Amino acid sequence: MLDIFLVTAIVVLLAVYVSWRAGRLDRLHARLEAARAALDAALLRRNCVAAELASSGLLDPATSVLLAGAAHDARAGTRQREQAESDLSRALRAAFGQPDFRASLDGGQGAEDLLAELEGAAHQVFLARKFYNEAVSAVISARRRFLVRALRLAGRAPAPEFFEIDDSLVEPAADGADMPRLTG
């Protein structure tokens, strides 16, 4: 009788643990999907602001064409998304890296608002990518557990991948904090 009770207790505890582990994995996957949606929204916002800057008439024609092309490629997904988004970052960095870039925009109608919006969008991309990659790391860590692999608790969900882009449009603040700001 004691043996049956002990075996039953172990089975119940194991079932509770497996159920908890499966629920945790499900919550991590839901968090990952939410982080991916936030990243997609931040990237789209940055693309839209970059396209608006390119068509604003504030930039010289060559820079406008470069920026508009990079924004279009990033939005259209004509190439691998990470590469297209990195190209947009490089195009923005090239525009902001021009000598006296900000001085050339002085007096342009809406220039300061547009630059502030672009700075906010770049900051959102930085944060969204950071949160998404942290969620990917948590899911990968949970999926590597022995019990998750042995019982196939992840089901057929594809393994998540990190989203790595060149977002060097942003640089660390002077005080070493993680708060980015536009270069140039």
What is the DSSP track for 30-66?
HHHHHHHHHHHHHHHHHHHHHHHHHTSS-S-HHHHHH
The range of the structural domain enclosing residue 176 comes to 2-182
**Integer Cα distance of 43 and 150 in angstroms:** 37
Mean pLDDT of the chain: 85
Q: Tens of pLDDT along 69-125?
A: 999 888 876 558 899 998 999 998 888 887 777 777 766 777 888 888 998 999 999
* Residue 42, pLDDT above cutoff 70: yes
**Integer Cα distance of 27 and 19 in angstroms:** 12
Q: Please tell me the predicted confidence (pLDDT) of residue 127.
A: 94
**pTM for the full model?**
0.81
What is the total count of domains within the chain? 1
Cα angle vertex 75, ends 72, 80, to 5°?
A: 105
Q: Which residue has the tokens 């969008």?
A: 121
Q: Please tell me the predicted confidence (pLDDT) of residue 78.
A: 55
Is 128 exposed, middle or buried (CB count within 10 Å of its CB: 0-12, 13-18, 19+)?
A: buried
Q: Tokens for 176?
A: 């070493």
